Each structure stands twice: as C-alpha cells, then as structure tokens.
Structure 1
Amino acid sequence: MSHHDAARTALRICPLCEATCGLTLTIEGSRVTGARGDRDDVFSQGFICPKGASFGELDGDPDRLRTPLVRKDGRLQEASWDEAFDAVAAGLRPLIEQYGPNAVGVVLGNPNVHTMAGALYPPVLLTTLRTRNLFTASTLDQMPKHVSSGLLFGSAVAIPVPDLDRTDHLLLLGANPLESNGSLCTAADFPGKLKALRRRGGKLVVVDPRRTRTAKLADQHLAIRPGTDALLLAALTQVLFEEKLADPGRLDEHVDGLDELREAIRPFTPEAVAEACDIPADKIRTIARELAAAPAAAVYGRIGSSTVEYGTLANWLVDVLNILTGNLDRPGGALFPLAATDRAPRPAGPGKGFLLGRWHSRVSAHPEAKGELPMAAIAEEIETPGEGQIRAIISLAANPVLSAPDGNRLDTALAGLDFMVSVDPYLNETSRRAHVVLPPPPPSQSAHYDFAFTAFSVRNQVRYTRPAVPLEEDRLDESEILARLVLAVGGMHGAEPSAVDAMVIDSTLAKAVADPLSPVHGRDPKELAAQLTGRTGPERRLDLMLRLGPYGDGFGAQGGAHDAAREGAREGAREGAQESVQGSAHGRGTDRGAHGLSLERLLAHPHGIDLGPLESRIPQVLKTRSGRIELFPEPIAADLPRLRRALGDRAAALVLVGRRHLRSNNSWMHNVPTLNSGTNRCTLQVHPEDAARLGLVDGATARVTADGGAFDVPVEVTDTVRTGVVSLPHGWGHDRPGTRMKVAAASPGVNVNQLLDGSRLDPLSGTAVLNGFPVEVAPVD
C-alpha cells in the first residue's frame, strides 16, 4: 500500500485561539500531515486561519516533551510517570502539612481554557488544596470584564457578547479581531462577520492608537491616546444623558442607579476629555448620537481597554453604553450566550451577588477578584519570609516569566522555591525552574470540548471531537495527569485517577437530586450515574453536564431540562432554541426529537449541533442581591474620582502599547517554524515624526527604558502607529538558558513585560497595566 493510500481524515476543533474553528485533519499513521477548515462545521463553516492550518506542525513539534522530567542533583532528567508522581507527592504533601495550604500557589495559564482537562480538573484541584494563592492569566488580560460583569449583573461569567450577525453599528475599542480572531466573543470568521456588517449597510467604528488591520476595515478609525478609553466612554455616556438620548427601553424596570450615574458622569463632557483622549469634542458627540440612533448597536472592548490603569471602569462603561442605548439583551445588540453545559436557567430573582476583596494578598494587600490575586504579585509572595509565604508552585500551562511583569524577578523567585511542578508540553522560560515537569500529549491525541468559549459564543452551539489519533503508549492523557495531581495534593497519592471523576459525578448528582428545581429532583443518584455514557471519566462528566444543562434530556425527565427550567426563563427563548435544533438554515439543523441533549446525541452529530441565535435572558441571568442590573455599584463609585483626576494629568511624551499577530497566541506558538516567520516579528513600531525627533532609523536598534528595566530592540518606522506611541508584541523573549525550544530561541525577540516592575495595576481587578505605560526610547549607536 502506498504512503498516500494510508492517509485518513478526522475532525478536530482547533485549540489555538478563541474562534474554536472546526478542522478536518489529514492523518498518515499517527502523524497529522494536513489541516483544512471543516465546511460542514455548524459554527465555523470552513473558516481557517494560519494557526489552524499549522495544526500538524504544532502537534508534531519535535521539541514537545514526551516523558516526565524530575530534578535530580540539580538537573532535570527523564523519569517514569510513577517516579514523577512520587516526586510530586513527596514534594508537596509535607509542605502542605507543615505550613498549610496557602504555602502552595497555583498558577493557571491561558492554554488551560483551550483543553478539556484544563477546564475540568483545576477547579477540583483548588477545592482539594484550599489555597488562597491562585494566580491566572486573567489578571494579565480579561479580569476587568469579569469584575465589571460581576458588579453589574451579579455573576463574573455573565458576559454579554456583540450580536455580530444582526447588529447595524459596532463600536470596537482596544480590539483587533482581524489578527486575534476575537476574544471574550467566540466567533469563527470574525473578519468575515465585520465585512458582512459593512455590506449590509452597517457601520464599524474602531478606537485604537494603531491603524490595525481591523481599523483599516472600519468606516471610522479614531487614533485615541492609549489608556484613555474610559474617559472617552464616560464622555459618550455624558452626552447620552445631556442630550436626553439615554433610553434603556425594556430594561428600564430592571435597572437601579440611573440617577446616581447621571450625576457622577456629569464632569466628563466631550470638551473635558478631548485633550486627554486626543479626539475632538464634536467627534465624540457624533459617535454618541450615532450609537443612540442606530436601529441596533453594540459596544465591544477588549485587551487594549482592559490592560490599562482604568481597565475595570472602561469595561463597566462598555456595558453602561449598551444598557443606556437599549441595546443590552436584544438582538443586534449585546446578548448573553446560553451554553449547553451551563446550569439550566433558574427562576429570576435576587442572587448571592458578587463581592470583591474577600481576602487580600499577604505582602501588598491586593484585594482578591473572582478568587484570584494579581499575577504581578507572585514574586513578592515567594520572596517575602513569614507566615503564609509561598513555598511551592503548581503551574498548569503557564509561562508567567514571559507573560507577567518583571520576569527576571519572578525567574529568580521561582528558582528559590522548595518545590515546583509544571504541567507543560515544553521546557519553557517558566517550566525550566520546576522540580517535576509533566507533559500532556499533543492536541491530536486529546478529546476536545470548549467549556469556556461556548459561554462567549456569538451563536449558541455545541461541538465535541474525540481524539483524532490514539494516545501513544508512553504518554498519559492530560485528564489523567491532572487527576493524579489532585490525588497527590489531597494525600491520596496512588489511588485510581478515575476516583476523581467518580467523586465529582457523585457530588454533582447528590446536589441535583436534592434541588427542587432540577429535572432529576428526588431521583436515585446511583441509578442516574449508571445511565451516564462515555468511554472516559471526562466524557461521563460531559454527558452529565449536557443532560442537566439548558438543552439536556434531564435523564429522560418529561420534556427534559427545558421544561424544568422554563419557569425561570423566557419561553420564547427556549422555543427558539428548540426550533433551531430541529432544523435551521445553512444545513446546520438536526432532529432533536423529544429527548434533548446528551453525549450520545452529540456524538451522532460530528460537525456539531446548532442551538440557534442568542436570545434575551434578562432578568433570569441576573444574580445581584437586588435581582436587578446595578448600574452604579459602590466599588465603581469609589474608583470614579480617580478617573476624574486623570482629566488634569499631563500626557506622557511617549507610551507603549502591545500588538497581536495572526500567527501568534501569547508565548506558546513561537516554536512552530511556519508561525514564527513573515510579518510575525518582534520590532518596535515608531511613527515617522517620533522617529525623526528621537533620531531613530528603520532597521536600526533602539533602547527602550521604563519602570522595570531596559532592553534593545530593532526599530520599524511606520505610520500605522500614532504619534506619541510605540508598539511591541507580547510573548517574546525566548533567550533564557535551559529551555528546549529551538525555533523560538533562534529568533528570541525581547520580553516587553520586562519593562514593568509590577507596581502598575488596575486597583479593582488587580490586572497588570501592560498597555499605555510611559517609556523612553533612544537610538543605540
């Protein structure tokens, strides 16, 4: 049989960014030799980007670790899985027993949300460990959105997304979806959706200090001064009140705090913010009027408006504008997705609400947000002696030495730990400090379900792919690695890893049968557990979540979970979802029958099941203590004077912003030759006028200096960046000794976060200020 005859195809959802596109992989033997878009995927319909196209190259990267590494005599050496977990138990348990659970810090990186195991097991690990020292990529990225949503709606995960397919007007801030493919807004072919918006006569307004690919596509581009998004949004809000354009529409009866907000926002007139934002007052007024006049509009802000000094205020004002223009929770505006593994909707009414600062970090007293402390605070928590000092780190798919401020300090701190375990496919800038490295298998050998991203999807849908390639003999599935880690931490080292899944299933079913609103109320949990299907623990857990979820079969309960939930949700929304599951346009539909969703039903639809367009979910989605949208919550009111003071600040002569590349996602894709090439370069972009003033020449080297340090970097003179601003991509700096990433090390670039000392944070969310901070730039002779 020829080599070609042996080729087969398999489906796989792409795990390389938030767009979650369906791929068709070509496989020869156990190697992925090609990847193209799956035209029959109910969500992505064939869309693919360079990252997805390079799936095989990333999957087969020879630098990926195959076996565990254990530090012996100061050196990381290959070891068996049993030796590795023995070392983990011996390293962690005595520290927990002697110093308590807070002696262990847990660090979760961005790739966790791109794997099934990364969603299912860290919560169990944290429950088992009970440490307050949790640090995640969220405080380098999206935490301001979680905090503002928590304060407004009562839940940190109630995040409305723009209804891209139906909107007439999109105001986009600090986001570049033509390069990033979207973020906290899961949309396959985001570029195509923006082009479709313009084709149907809609308007796209982009606010960004750089003329990005997204800005070039826009009807209007406002080159704002970095870090001033919150001032611009406050002025837009002020105009809506001043010109009597504020009209929440049907949300009126669900909103508290309108009058207090009107009063508090009064000083932020377009004239007052114009100089700080560098946008003329008349332009600001026009934007506000057009936003209010559009038949349906959405405001959407991302990284550029989150990783700045006023990140939470900016994210809050994004939703304030959606509320005041009557566009929140309506088609064409910003809506709350309903994922298949969400809890089935409950009756509307007051909830527990969202609290900030339930505890504080030990050294600098940073308040927790969503159970997390700022990633920027890890180093001081390790270095500072005393009760509660972090002595061990469990790092899951994280590389904070590159992704957090002041990596040099953190690198030194990690080297001084009593123990560190890293779950990572690479020996990177962070995992090289570990005592034990546990490598998960490549994505082709892993099942995939997007727990996180279906919750931010612009259309409700559900898709699952089993491993495209069987797990090789010498590897452990990521779910087993993380389950064994849970057991080692919990003092159950050596128990069967399946015990972890069984424990979660038992406790979930026990709660469900005791809950009067559950479709399985009063039933026997053992009988229900016996009905679960799936080849693995994670599949059984997925089956459980689907069946108890909003579209689930409720384990055969009459009408399924739908009917049990209907009391608390709008009937039309549920029926709309039902119809679209039974059959819809684009050949997306499927016969749902009376049974509802389960793993078995999902497996019968390998290209996914379309669950219909987003529907209105207020008031049912609200979990505030009042059961209403709390428009002007106390923590926001307390922080607003800080924004007012910014009106009088003198702008720094030069500030730095990051940038995204289509071929890159943070620090973990620079080892793939195809992706580490072309325009994906670590250069300092400088405007021609600034270059002339500073004596910088295209292609020459400049020294960049800021709070935390300095480095030299090649200059790229371009008018795509505005005056007073320079730009560097993030995730670079692959030049530390002891890593095993040959391609990345060959063109290491510089680590932009090394310019920061970690002292600049958004106070409400603890998010590091990675954009809009002052720098000095000078030529290097």
Structure 2
Amino acid sequence: MTDRQIHIRSCSLCEAMCGLEVHHADGEVKLIRPNRNDVWSKGYICPKGTVLGHMYADPDRVRRPLVRNAAGDLAEASWDAAFERCAELLGGVRDKYGVEAITAYLGNATGFNYSISRYAGMFLQLAGIPTVYSSGTVDTWSKNVACQLMYGHSWRIPVPDIDRTDFMVVQGANPSASQGSFMGCPDVPGALDLVRERGKVVVIDPRRSETCAHADQWLPVRPGTDALLQLAVVNVLFDEGLVRLGHLADRLKGVDDVRAIAAEFPPERVAEACGADAGAIRTLAREFAAAERAVWYARIGTCNQEFGTLASWLPDVICALTGNLDAVGGMMWAKPVAWSMLQQDWGFEGGFDRWRSRVRDIPEVLGQFPMGCLAEEIDTPGEGQLKGLIVVGGNPVLSAPNSERLDNALPLLEAMISVDNALNETSRHAHVVLPGLAALEQHFYSEMLWGWAKRSAAKYAPPLFPPADDRPDEWEILTRLGAMCAGMGDVNAAEFDDLYFSALAELAGVDPAIALEASPEPGPERLNDLAIRTGPWGDRYGENPDGLNLDKLKELPDGLDMGPMVPQVDDIVVNPDGKIDLAPERITSDVGRLEASLERPDASLVLTSRRHVRSNNSWMHNVEVLVRGKDRCTLLIHPDDAAEAGVTDGELARVSSSSGAVEVPVEVSDQMYPGVVSLPHGWGHDKPGTRQSVASRYAGVNYNLLVPPDFVDVPSGNAAVNGVPVAVTPASGAPASGVPA
C-alpha cells in the first residue's frame, strides 16, 4: 500500500468553486478536506464537496458506452461500435426527415464540465440543428432576456458585490442551500453575516428558508407577485424623491418610462396581492435608497414564475435608480482572468420570434423554445415532427414541465443519444449512452462561473485519476456527434478542433498561426490557455511577457487573486447607442398582464420549489452519505393550511394540479407562508430501467409532474415552476414511511 498523497483542486459542483484537498492512495479517495490555503474559498466547503470520491467510485456510474441491442436492452459496447451506431441512427433520421427532425437538450451539468462547457456551442453550430432546448428555459431564461434587452447581451449578468455592500436584499434565492446562483461566492452565509455587521440583510421569500438565519428581516411574499412588490419599491423611490442616478445619469434611457409605469403601483395597491404589508414595502424602499452601498439580488424563485422577466428586470432597475448599478458595493460585472465564450461579444444579436414551434406556434426566444414544447414536438405526428434527440448532461424527465408526457414521448424517437455518466430517468430511453468523465478524471477551470464571481480569481487543477486509455475526450464526443448531425459522418475531431481554435484566436485578436504553434494539442486545454492569454492580464502569446498564461497558473495550485470587481459599464454594454435601456418595450409591454393579475381571485394554495445543501438538482441523489437520514422530499405546509386540508404531519397527502398529481409525506411547518406549500426539485427516482441503486431507494416524487407545460413567463418562455395552483387532500394510502430502514 502506498502512502497517502494530496491532490489540490476545486469542487466543480456549483458557483462556489471551493478549494479541496483530496487525500488519496492506491487509486482511491480516502478523504476530502477543505483547502485552507485556497485563495478563493479560504477553507470553506459544503457537504457536496466532500463526496467527489464517492461519485468517482460509484459502482452505478456508466464507464463504458451502452448500446441498445436487438432485444431492446442497453448493453456495454466498444467506443467504435457506439460511434458507429450513433452515425447510423443520426444519419438515418437526417436522410429520411432532414436535419430539422433532430434537436438537442443541454442540461445544467454542461456548464460545470471542463470540456463540454467549452465545446457545447461548437457542437450546436457544427450540427446545424435549427432548434435547441436546455435547462435554461426552466431556470434562467427570464434573466437572460432582461439582460439582452437592457445591456445588449444575454449573458452579461451583474452580480452582487457582497463583500463591500452595506444593505442586501435576497429575493427568491436561498444561497444557504444553493451556495449562490449567478453569484460566485464561497460561504455565502458567512458573507451575509458580515453584511449584517455593516448594515442589513432582508430576505424576500414565501418560505422562511435557511438563509433567513443570516438575515435581519424576513419579508414573505406570495409566489408570482415579486414584480408587484418590486414595482411598489420603484414607486416609492420616485414618489418620495429617492432616485439618484449618479455616475450612470448619462448612460440610462427609459427613466421617465419607468417612472410612469411605477406610478400605477403604490404599495397600498399591491400589498394584499403580495401578502406583504404596505408599510414594510415603503420602509424597504427608503432603507435601500438610504444605504451608502446596496444590492438587490434576485434569483431562481424570481426567474421561474409567471412574471419572471419583470421580476428579473426590476432588481437591476432598482439598483440603477439608486446609484447601485456598476458601483462598488452594488450590482457589478465580474472581470474574469480568462474570458468566457458565453459572455464574449462575437457580434451575434439575440433574437425573438424569428421562428415558431410547430405544434403550439410558440415564439423562439434567444434561439430556444420553452422546455414544455419538447414532448409535444416528439409525440405529435406531422411534417417537422422530431425524430432524433441528443441529450448532453441533463435529465429532463425529472426537470421538464409536464415531465410525464416527455417520459412517454421519448420511446417514440428513432434516434436518441445521451452523453451522460448515469443511467437515469432520461438516459434509460436512449439508443446509445456515451459516458462522460467523473469530476476527478478531468481538469477543472470553470469556463463560465468566473464570469459571475465576486472577485477576479483563477484556479486550475489537473485530473487526479486517468480515464480509460481507449476512451475519447468529451470534446471529441461532441465534435463527432455534431458532424454526424450535419451529414458528414464520422470525422477526424482534431482537424475540426484546429479550425475551431483558429477561429476563436482570430476573434480574440491574435494570429492563429502563433497561437497554434504555442498550443498544438487539440482540446479544452488550449482553449483555456487562449482565454487566459487574451484576457485582461494575459501575455497575448508573448506581446506582454510578464502576463499570464495557463502554464503560469498551473504553478499556483492554490489559485491567483487579482482583486475585487471594478466598475466597467463601458466594456459591458453593447447596445448600439451605448446606453442601458431601463424600459425595453418587450418587457414593459408585459406590465399590463401583471396589472390584470391584481383582479383575479387567488388560488387557495400555490406550490413553490426548494433546494437543499445536500442536493444538486437531480444528480446528487445516488450518494448515500448525502441522502440518508431524515426524508427531505416532503410537502412543507403551514399549520393553518394543513388543518384546512385535513392533512397531518408525517402522513401522506395528495397534491394535484391541472397537470398531474403526486402523493408525498407531509411536513407541517410555520416556516411556510400561509397559502403556499413547498416540494423539493429533482426527485422522482422510481422509474424502471435506471441504474441508480441509492437514488431508487430514496425515490421521492417528481415536482414537475405538477407543472403545466403552458404555464410560462410570456416574454421569455421560462417555465413558471413556482406559483403553480394546487389542491392538497389526504391520500388514500397508508401513512408515509419516508426513508428506507
């Protein structure tokens, strides 16, 4: 037995990117501890960061390709045989129906993968498929739309300067569980505690979440009414003369339009609908405006609701009106050491309604249709019916609205390829499963997460364990699949990568020949090197000899910190006139729909989702140490609502919506706002044909069975996962047992 060694790396599971010490020997992880020397996280990790070894050693992990045989079963095959079958399947669909019959779904996991994150865009461009689906339209699309229309770029999303703010509003977010979203910050709870020492933290949420323990005030709000509360805050800012445009005075347009819109929404008009006291809303507006440095952070709960674009737009408006946009201690833009391809200005314009879905005539938004459209586009016969699907790093059978219909539709496909290292509820339907790498088998330097980080830091880690010798890299998998969709058959991925790299080098302003000579090996390493070299502190391939490159960063395993965010509006806004548009017509035209909601009767109960620090959507539930213990897939319900519904703590309740029904254990708790019930997202591991032995024992129920596919935020198409009207009644079955013995 060899002595233990320590491998230094970052956790790749969320925006926190915490530094880890991975203690290992004889090809096994023995222990994972926080790296106290990490320049970024300084010794902080959450429970998820300790289980990368479990995920690597998971006996259920797919390590060899799976190909469906003549008997209909998925069986292990060689990589050559798997690619041959992919080419046969995709080529068959293309030849028979055209490339428009093929689509792709990109899941959240793609953004946290060293290779796939850098090649997903190339894959889509090479494939030439006309439509694409992603987890974005269940998660972030309303924020992307707001940023596209305000700043001219859908991914230039401002983030809180949490370390220097004096007053922070946290709305529709629970960073104590999620570790932040569109906010790269380790130990958010600790950071919030420091904000409280300097000033105040207010949490706006229908649940008194874990984050409330790190706040001064909990302001409950009824799901779907966040934009009403925000408009009321804007109303007070104008009505009481609290607006101060400051340094952005000559960069903002639409201020008078915002004033006119907000004039119709005083706190007294919206308070009843929001479930919030009018006086509390006025006080919040006054305190926010009075703070020297303030930030309004709104995330997933404000995005995936009926008025998600309005609720994603208004926090930036509030910050702009109070001098807290692109200002120290307010909402700022990150300045990453290595630029992200997502956030670069390549000259492409985001579009709206350039084409429409075949079945429901739904408009395209930023190149995508809502996820609720995917099932119907597969199972509805007619010209243009989808026949081929490539799923990359996602599990839409659990994450898509009306997921039961999608589950039933996937077997109708003539070609389904999953790039995934789990045989899960979605990939069990695939004709071919091409496994990805475990986190410890690949490099790590986030392509996109540093673009939303509170500081300009950088960290790189090589793989700890080598993958199997015969397996292709993940970038090669995507390149070959893209070429198959395009009708090129199986191709030499390295040759395509030279062309891809050269094009990116030219766009970055360097000579492709010089860049190719400096980085001859294809793959994500040289893309990473290119982004560092041509970033704000890069050496530009020798032009700045003292500048950074990937080799220099590799010599700093604990990372490099280049300082906090700085004001940079001139480099961020790419609207033709150079101004921030505070009142884009596509957004403001939706205010009428919001106003009409004030007149409709409220549903007796509405459903909202929740996260847990030990979960990561649907893909951390096969790790025993994370899921064992108290059952977390429960229906949280206020005592008054439980009494009215006739349900009891610990027993099963039936939760039904217009889309479906589930039976789930009840957890009566006054942490819920009356009229609102809550289920966690990402469960429902009870499907036959999966290979997740732990998750299937802790199956839980699938939240998205209850989400109607047409319940969306209109301007963005983002699914309205939160605020779903439901009924709760006692279940007919036996009392809930909750967790396996």
> Does residue 113 of the first structure (1) align with residue 111 of the second (2)?
yes
State the secondary structure of the residue aligned to 1:420.
strand
Question: What residue number does 1:480 align with?
Answer: 476
Question: What residue number does 2:718 align with?
Answer: 767
State the secondary structure of the residue aligned to 1:54.
helix
Show the 5 A alignment for 1:305-320: 305-320=302-317
Residue deviations 1:219-276 (CA, integer Å, cap 9, x gap) = 0101111111010001001110111111111101000111111112211110010000
State the secondary structure of the residue aligned to 1:373.
coil
> Does residue 292 of the first structure (1) align with residue 279 of the second (2)?
no
Change (3 A) 1:343 1:422: closer
Question: What residue number does 1:357 align with?
Answer: 353
Choose from 402, 408, 411 the match for 2:407: 411
State the secondary structure of the residue aligned to 2:417.
strand
**Residue 216 (structure 1) shift:** 2.5
Change (3 A) 1:427 1:346: closer
**Residue 352 (structure 1) shift:** 6.8
Choose from 543, 548, 551 the match for 2:529: 543
Change (3 A) 1:617 1:52: same
Write the distance in 2 (CA, Å) between the matches of 1:388 and 1:86. Answer: 26
Is the 8 Å Cα contact of residues 353 and 624 (structure 1) preserved in structure 2?
no
Residue deviations 1:334-373 (CA, integer Å, cap 9, x gap) = 100122232799999x987643222222222222222221
> Does residue 608 of the first structure (1) align with residue 559 of the second (2)?
yes
The TM-score normalised by the length of structure 2 is 0.96
> Does residue 30 of the first structure (1) align with residue 16 of the second (2)?
no
State the secondary structure of the residue aligned to 1:151.
helix
Structure 1 letter corresponding to 2:250: E
**Residue 693 (structure 1) shift:** 1.4
Question: What residue number does 1:506 align with?
Answer: 502
Structure 1 letter corresponding to 2:79: W
Residue deviations 1:570-608 (CA, integer Å, cap 9, x gap) = xxxxxxxxxxxxxxxxxxxxxxxx521211111121122
> Does residue 723 of the first structure (1) align with residue 674 of the second (2)?
yes
Structure 2 letter corresponding to 1:393: L
Is the 8 Å Cα contact of residues 344 and 549 (structure 1) preserved in structure 2?
no
Write the distance in 2 (CA, Å) between the matches of 1:26 and 1:472. Answer: 21
Choose from 366, 372, 377 the match for 1:381: 377
**Residue 217 (structure 1) shift:** 2.1
Change (3 A) 1:224 1:472: same
State the secondary structure of the residue aligned to 1:261.
helix
Change (3 A) 1:620 1:35: same
Choose from 76, 80, 91 the match for 1:78: 76
Choose from 11, 18, 26 the match for 1:21: 18
Write the distance in 2 (CA, Å) between the matches of 1:546 and 1:101. Answer: 36
State the secondary structure of the residue aligned to 1:495.
coil
Write the distance in 2 (CA, Å) between the matches of 1:430 and 1:461. Answer: 36
Write the distance in 1 (CA, Å) between the matches of 2:471 and 2:612. Answer: 32
Change (3 A) 1:602 1:544: same
Is the 8 Å Cα contact of residues 105 and 390 (structure 1) preserved in structure 2?
yes
State the secondary structure of the residue aligned to 1:702.
strand
Choose from 540, 547, 561 the match for 1:554: 540
Write the distance in 2 (CA, Å) between the matches of 1:776 and 1:228. Answer: 20
> Does residue 238 of the first structure (1) align with residue 235 of the second (2)?
yes
Question: What residue number does 2:624 align with?
Answer: 673
> Does residue 400 of the first structure (1) align with residue 407 of the second (2)?
no
Question: What residue number does 2:737 align with?
Answer: none
Residue deviations 1:613-639 (CA, integer Å, cap 9, x gap) = 000011221111221001101101211
Show the 5 A alignment for 1:23-172: 23-73=20-70, 74-172=72-170
Write the distance in 1 (CA, Å) between the matches of 2:456 and 2:352. Answer: 30
Question: What residue number does 1:580 align with?
Answer: none
Structure 2 letter corresponding to 1:470: P
**Residue 494 (structure 1) shift:** 4.1
Change (3 A) 1:355 1:441: closer
Write the distance in 2 (CA, Å) between the matches of 1:511 and 1:54. Answer: 39
Is the 8 Å Cα contact of residues 441 and 475 (structure 1) preserved in structure 2?
no
Write the distance in 2 (CA, Å) between the matches of 1:468 and 1:301. Answer: 37
Q: Which region of structure 1 is more displaced relative to structure 2, 61-70 or 22-31? A: 22-31
State the secondary structure of the residue aligned to 2:687.
coil
Is the 8 Å Cα contact of residues 229 and 277 (structure 1) preserved in structure 2?
yes
Write the distance in 2 (CA, Å) between the matches of 1:756 and 1:344. Answer: 33
State the secondary structure of the residue aligned to 1:551.
coil
Is the 8 Å Cα contact of residues 501 and 541 (structure 1) preserved in structure 2?
no
Choose from 651, 660, 665 the match for 2:611: 660
**Residue 536 (structure 1) shift:** 5.3
Structure 2 letter corresponding to 1:545: A
Write the distance in 1 (CA, Å) between the matches of 2:110 and 2:617. Answer: 13
State the secondary structure of the residue aligned to 2:145.
helix
**Residue 529 (structure 1) shift:** 1.4
Is the 8 Å Cα contact of residues 446 and 477 (structure 1) preserved in structure 2?
no
Write the distance in 1 (CA, Å) between the matches of 2:698 and 2:504. Answer: 48
Residue deviations 1:407-436 (CA, integer Å, cap 9, x gap) = 211011111001100011111000000000
State the secondary structure of the residue aligned to 1:482.
helix
> Does residue 650 of the first structure (1) align with residue 636 of the second (2)?
no
Choose from 516, 527, 530 the match for 2:514: 527
Q: Which region of structure 1 is more displaced relative to structure 2, 165-174 or 487-496? A: 487-496
Question: What residue number does 1:696 align with?
Answer: 647
Write the distance in 2 (CA, Å) between the matches of 1:351 and 1:493. Answer: 30
Show the 5 A alignment for 1:125-524: 125-199=123-197, 201-342=198-339, 354-473=350-469, 475-512=471-508, 518=509, 520=510, 523=511
Structure 2 letter corresponding to 1:358: R
Change (3 A) 1:473 1:500: same
Q: Which region of structure 1 is more displaced relative to structure 2, 739-748 or 492-501? A: 492-501
Is the 8 Å Cα contact of residues 258 and 583 (structure 2) preserved in structure 1?
yes
Write the distance in 2 (CA, Å) between the matches of 1:131 and 1:340. Answer: 33
Structure 1 letter corresponding to 2:516: A
Residue deviations 1:14-59 (CA, integer Å, cap 9, x gap) = 1122211111111122222211111121111111110001221122
**Residue 159 (structure 1) shift:** 0.5
Write the distance in 2 (CA, Å) between the matches of 1:302 and 1:241. Answer: 25
State the secondary structure of the residue aligned to 1:715.
strand
Show the 5 A alignment for 1:753-764: 753-764=704-715
State the secondary structure of the residue aligned to 2:354.
coil
Write the distance in 2 (CA, Å) between the matches of 1:129 and 1:287. Answer: 50
Residue deviations 1:636-686 (CA, integer Å, cap 9, x gap) = 121111111112222211111111000001001111001112346101111
Write the distance in 1 (CA, Å) between the matches of 2:522 and 2:576. Answer: 39
Segments of structure 1 that go 5 or more residues without pairing to the other structure are: 513-517, 561-593
In the comparison of the two structures, how many residue pairs are matched?
731
Amino-acid identity (%): 45
Structure 1 letter corresponding to 2:546: H
Is the 8 Å Cα contact of residues 14 and 20 (structure 1) preserved in structure 2?
yes
Residue deviations 1:286-312 (CA, integer Å, cap 9, x gap) = 000000000000000011111100000
Write the distance in 1 (CA, Å) between the matches of 2:48 and 2:28. Answer: 17
Question: What residue number does 1:582 align with?
Answer: none
Write the distance in 2 (CA, Å) between the matches of 1:452 and 1:620. Answer: 18
Write the distance in 1 (CA, Å) between the matches of 2:343 and 2:625. Answer: 47
Q: Which region of structure 1 is more displaced relative to structure 2, 645-654 or 325-334? A: 645-654
Residue deviations 1:682-710 (CA, integer Å, cap 9, x gap) = 01111111111111111111111101111
Question: What residue number does 1:712 align with?
Answer: 663
Structure 1 letter corresponding to 2:68: R
Change (3 A) 1:47 1:345: closer
Structure 1 letter corresponding to 2:248: L
Residue deviations 1:116-156 (CA, integer Å, cap 9, x gap) = 11211211111111222211111111111111011111100
Is the 8 Å Cα contact of residues 12 and 23 (structure 1) preserved in structure 2?
yes
The TM-score normalised by the length of structure 1 is 0.91
Question: What residue number does 1:567 align with?
Answer: none
Write the distance in 1 (CA, Å) between the matches of 2:108 and 2:478. Answer: 16
State the secondary structure of the residue aligned to 1:611.
strand
Write the distance in 1 (CA, Å) between the matches of 2:112 and 2:16. Answer: 11
Structure 1 letter corresponding to 2:195: L
Write the distance in 2 (CA, Å) between the matches of 1:398 and 1:344. Answer: 21
**Residue 442 (structure 1) shift:** 1.3
